[in-house]
Amino acid sequence: MFINHELINELLKNAQNATENDVDNVLNKACNRENLTFEDIAVLLEIKNENQLDKLFKIAGEIKNEIYGNRVVLFAPLYISNYCVNDCIYCGYQRCNKFERRRLTQDEIREEVKILEKMGHKRLALEAGEDPKNCPIEYILESLDTIYSTYNENGNIRRVNVNIAATTVNNYKKLKEKGIGTYILFQETYHKPTFIKMHGKSIKNDYYYHLTAFDRAMEAGVDDVGAGVLFGLSDPKFEVLGLMMHNAHLEEKFGVGFHTISFPRLKKAEGMDLNSFPHLVSDDLFKKIVAITRLAVPYTGIIMSTRESSSMRNKLLKYGVSQVSAGSITGVGGYKENEKDENINQFTLEDHRTPIEVLKELISDEYIPSYCTACYRMGRTGDRFMSLAKSGEIHNVCTPNALTTLKEFLLDYGDKQLQDMGDKLINNEIEKIQREDIKNIIYNNIKSLKEGERDLYL
């Protein structure tokens, strides 16, 4: 088993005796861009000195800027079914909750997709509960076809990441054939006794099968996988080391680890009481965990959803977050129904800003909102993406596409204020670019957009 519980507990116990000098040594390693060991990560989790915390956040921000620049990728979730046979005690979709279950028809999916595209989205995360009878893999595959084939006046969804239950190699091959982006699956908790406790009499309650889902996905040819734990179920320090051990396993076996790591924090949901969970994560610890993760896996995308408040998400963008959702609704059919009272959400949200409001705030903070999906569409996935990221060449690919997709949003859906803000940012960013060929690519892309082209393989 590549998640070694005894080793994790030993590392955490030993790290409690770490001195401030030990912490400084690890921070210096990170500052010198040296790889961190599991022992190093455990030591960082014990940081208490305010000056050392500031240094941690500073290094995390520097690493993020070196690799991702000031680009921030945006996406939205699309919930297509809340049928579920599991009794996960933290989830609003748990089987014992009594409400009218539904799954969207293909026509209803088209309606939701058109609404999301009119919000400016080009990248979705498809979400569904686990129910082999009411939400079989065939339904997921048909829904992917529907999403990709749905067009609005200004275009379509270009990339769908998929967050569905652990499945077989054969089913992952089918997902791959449909052109999915990243396959996302949260382990929920790496602590096996807690995993078993949280999932009760559920088909999900097979720790090893769930844990090895990414192995099967990669064996099936899915290049990019996205991990996460639900912080608040078990000791968060244990979870961080679990994530790092899982990533190391994939790197050793397949040559590439997580493409993304998501950081959902336990929130109130239908049928559960937050007071029943003793491991809720404070804001201060949460920020520290995100920053440490950025140091530990510098090239992995870090995702922050609308579970968190706008102020928390803004802070975490400085410490390592590179992708955020915008305008999210976590109920089935919720975009059309605009969160009617009878719509059951999987969990509560904290950030209710519209995508335009999110963009305005990002631009005010001098970030480049990006709707780029070109890496998936051009085959820059898996180890090919990582080689570009590690060489620094990814900037020459991502920056032009980020600026172009921002301009596309401004032309199609931006109000006057956003257009003025966005154009100013685009011009400023172009001025910073040293290479004339890169500048020319951006100018030509913008010219094509103004002439009505809406698919430049962005």
Give 4-29 as a DSSP string.
-HHHHHHHHHHHTT--HHHHHHHHHH
> Looking at residue 48, what is its pLDDT?
95
Mean pLDDT, residues 114-141 taken together: 97
Our CA angle for 242, 243, 246, nearest 5°, is: 85
Neighbour count for residue 392 (Cβ, 10 Å): 10
| Placement of tokens 């293909």 in the chain | 106
- Is 249's pLDDT higher than 90? yes
Using a cut of 0.75, tell me whether the model's pTM lies above it. yes
Low-confidence winner among 22-36, 113-127, 228-242, 334-348 (lowest mean pLDDT):
334-348
- Is 378's pLDDT higher than 90? no
Q: Which amino acid is at 348?
A: T
The predicted-structure confidence for 176-190, as pLDDT tens digits, reads as follows 999 999 999 999 999
- Is 266's pLDDT higher than 90? yes
- Is 384's pLDDT higher than 90? no
> Looking at residue 254, what is its pLDDT?
97
- Is 192's pLDDT higher than 80? yes
pLDDT band at 343 (very low <50, low <70, confident <90, very high): low
Rounded CA gap, 404 and 410, in Å?
10
Cβ distance 218 to 250 under 8 Å? yes
Share of the chain above pLDDT 70, in %: 98
Mean pLDDT, residues 160-188 taken together: 98
Cβ distance 353 to 326 under 8 Å? yes
Q: Which residues of 91-101 are buried (b: 16+ CB within 10 A; e: fewer)?
A: bbbbbebeeeb
Residues in the chain: 458
> Looking at residue 455, what is its pLDDT?
77
Q: Which distant-in-sequence residues (6+ apart) come within 8 Å of 122 by Cβ?
A: 155, 157, 158, 159, 371, 373, 405, 458
Mean pLDDT, residues 273-289 taken together: 95
Pair of tokens at residue 108? 């209803």
Mean pLDDT, residues 429-456 taken together: 92
Q: How would you class 268 by CB atoms within 10 Å of its CB: exposed for 0-12, middle for 13-18, buried for 19 or more?
A: exposed
What pairs with residue 323 in β-bridges? 73, 303
- Is 332's pLDDT higher than 60? yes
Mean pLDDT, residues 366-392 taken together: 88
pLDDT band at 175 (very low <50, low <70, confident <90, very high): very high
The predicted-structure confidence for 394-422, as pLDDT tens digits, reads as follows 888 899 999 999 999 999 999 999 999 99
Neighbour count for residue 182 (Cβ, 10 Å): 24
pLDDT band at 342 (very low <50, low <70, confident <90, very high): very low
Mean pLDDT, residues 437-443 taken together: 94
Cβ distance 143 to 126 under 8 Å? yes
What pairs with residue 368 in β-bridges? 71
- Is 272's pLDDT higher than 90? no
- Top mean-pLDDT range of 153-157, 286-290, 449-453: 286-290
> Looking at residue 344, what is its pLDDT?
55
CA atoms within 13 A on the CB side of 331: 20
> Looking at residue 315, what is its pLDDT?
96
Q: Which distant-in-sequence residues (6+ apart) come within 8 Å of 434 by Cβ?
A: none
Nearest Cα to 401, choosing from 382, 384, 378?
378
> Looking at residue 57, what is its pLDDT?
98
Share of the chain above pLDDT 90, in %: 84
Nearest Cα to 9, choosing from 238, 213, 196, 202?
238
- Is 152's pLDDT higher than 50? yes
> Looking at residue 457, what is its pLDDT?
72
- Is 340's pLDDT higher than 60? no
pLDDT band at 1 (very low <50, low <70, confident <90, very high): confident
Rounded CA gap, 369 and 407, in Å?
10
In this predicted model, which residue has the larger pLDDT, 382 or 211? Answer: 211
Instruction: Write down the mean pLDDT value for the chain.
Output: 94
pLDDT band at 217 (very low <50, low <70, confident <90, very high): very high
